[in-house]
Homo-oligomer: A and B are copies of this chain.
Amino acid sequence: MSQMSVVEATNAALRQELARDPKVFVYGEDVAHYGGMFRVTDGLLRDFGADRVIDTPISESGFLGMGLGAAMAGMRPVAELMFIDFSLVAMDQLLNNIAKTHYMSGGSVPVPLTIITQGGGYRGAAAQHSQMLEALLLHLPGLKVVLPSNAADAKGLLAAAIRDDNPVVFINHKQLFGAKSEVPDGEHVVPLGQARTMREGTDVTLFTYSYLVGMGMQAAEEAATQGVSVEVVDLRTLNPLDWETIAASVTKTHRVVIAHEAHLRCGVGVDLSHQIQSRLFDELDAPIQVVAALDAPIPFAKELEDVVLPSPARLLEACLGAVHG
């Protein structure tokens, strides 16, 4: 085990996979010579060479399309999208092409393409640089979507993503980049599709992921002092979902809060809420609550951003509300 930041752990996964498989190459804006805007690709060019680590122009649609083609032609490309907000200039490649190719080809063409990116707010980056857009990627079938909440998962899930024969979008959170925690040394792979129970509880389950896992743990601790036992589950992978862990927890606590930073409407929260109520209706002792961003673009000023984005207080309130009604 070593103490590592999420950036270092992400870098370690890229190193691990570059060393392991000559088909892997990493590319994106400023990733090679500069080492990545967020240092995620630091040193890779030096250690793996110019054929494995490549700078691109600011052409997300073009270079994701090229990732698709390269994947079809036998490579295992890892593309960096600097901010997930910029996925919107490449949505056609992501959703009409990358996500659909395997199916449209009748299963004959695998697309082992990984896209690493980051999202999230809380830093005054305003409406176009603070978003969480995982729901857009989940609505149309064909992409796996992964969001680690800590360094060990960043390493292990990214390794699994790169080894997966499907397109996977791996989303870090900018607030977690510097967060240090224990990461297994040597080969470390965390299978996609396994949620992780971060804290056991009996009164209510809080399902969450990414940066809000930490907030959820805070809220759970505070709730405990108020006599409410919160189980916190880090979903980790949103497609595939770990339904077993989800169902087991719901049938234990009978009360559910789902929290994420993205917007409410057509988001992951309402998605999971519906799946739970439609499959486990009789298990529910209270309405499912979803904590999400308010229905407004992310504002710049702190006074406003604090209101729009979820806070530990809102998570706590939802957990207590689920129990006390």
**Chain A residues packing against B (C-beta within 8 Å):** 61, 85-86, 88-89, 91-92, 94-96, 99-100, 103-104, 126-128, 131, 133, 135-136, 138-142, 239, 262-271, 273-275, 277-279, 281, 286-290, 295-297, 299
Contact = CB atoms under 8 A, between A and B. Distances in A.
Contact of A127 (B88, B100, B279): B100
Contact of A100 (B104, B128, B273): B128
Kindly name the residue among A61, A266, A269 whose own CB sees the greatest number of chain B CB atoms within 10 A. Answer: A266
Nearest to A93: B88
Nearest to A295: B141
Given A88-B96, A278-B287, 10 more contacts: A86-B92, A88-B94, A104-B126, A135-B139, A141-B265, A141-B296, A265-B271, A269-B274, A270-B270, A278-B289
B281 A139 contact: no
B88 A104 contact: no
A89 to B, nearest CB: 4
Contact of A271 (B136, B266, B279): B266
25 contacts: A88-B92, A88-B96, A89-B91, A100-B128, A103-B297, A103-B299, A131-B140, A135-B139, A135-B266, A136-B139, A139-B139, A139-B262, A139-B265, A141-B263, A141-B265, A265-B271, A266-B267, A266-B268, A266-B270, A273-B273, A274-B274, A274-B288, A274-B290, A277-B287, A278-B287
A279 B289 CA distance: 10
Contact of A103 (B127, B133, B135, B277): B127
Number of copies: 2
Nearest to A293: B141
A267 B91 CA distance: 17
Contact of A96 (B128, B262, B295): B128
A290 B274 CA distance: 9
Nearest to A106: B299
Contact of A88 (B95, B138, B141, B270): B95
A265 B138 contact: yes
A275 B288 CA distance: 10
Nearest to A134: B266
Contact of A140 (B103, B263, B270, B271): B263
A299 B95 CA distance: 15
Nearest to A282: B287
A297 B266 contact: no
Contact of A139 (B95, B267, B273): B267
Contacts of A99: 297
Contacts of A92: 86, 88-89, 91
A288 B297 contact: no
